[in-house]
Amino acid sequence: MQVLISKAALLGVPKRLNWGKLSLGDDVKLVVGDNDQVTAYASLPYKAFGIFHKTRDIKIGHLGPTSQALLLSGLKKERMFRVRIIDIQLPHHGNEDIKPSVWISVWG
């Protein structure tokens, strides 16, 4: 495997996300959606009915145009990529200027 993207920021990261469950090194799934937009999902744990431990794929953002153009053909051909979270900037309470950010790396 080779590095395809060493560090790419995700766009459209939601402000309301269970940030305590998201951590560095987590796997990310890239999905091609409508208009060929590549969306990133992370599997976060949750409890169903308070007792059953399961995981749920949560949208954590989408790729920018440069990263999307690089990966789109491979994703459409269903090639395997290793995508990991490599950096997270958490939102701070009381400071509206700082937006949450997530960066990923892609190997293929």
Provide CB contacts within 8 A for 39, sequence distance 6+: 30, 31, 32, 33, 59, 61, 62, 63
* Integer Cα distance of 23 and 28 in angstroms: 11
**pLDDT number for residue 95:** 64
Where do the structural domains in the chain lie, given as residue ranges?
Answer: 3-107
Distance separating alpha carbons of residues 100 and 20, to the nearest angstrom: 13
Q: According to CATH, what is the number of the domain 3-107? A: 3.30.70
Mean pLDDT within 22-27: 90
Query: Which tokens is 9 given?
Result: 């920021």
Structure token digits, residue 14: 């939601």
Q: Which tens digit of pLDDT belongs to each residue from 73-108?
A: 899 998 999 999 999 887 766 566 778 889 999 998
DSSP state of 48: E
Q: Is the pLDDT of residue 11 over 60?
A: yes
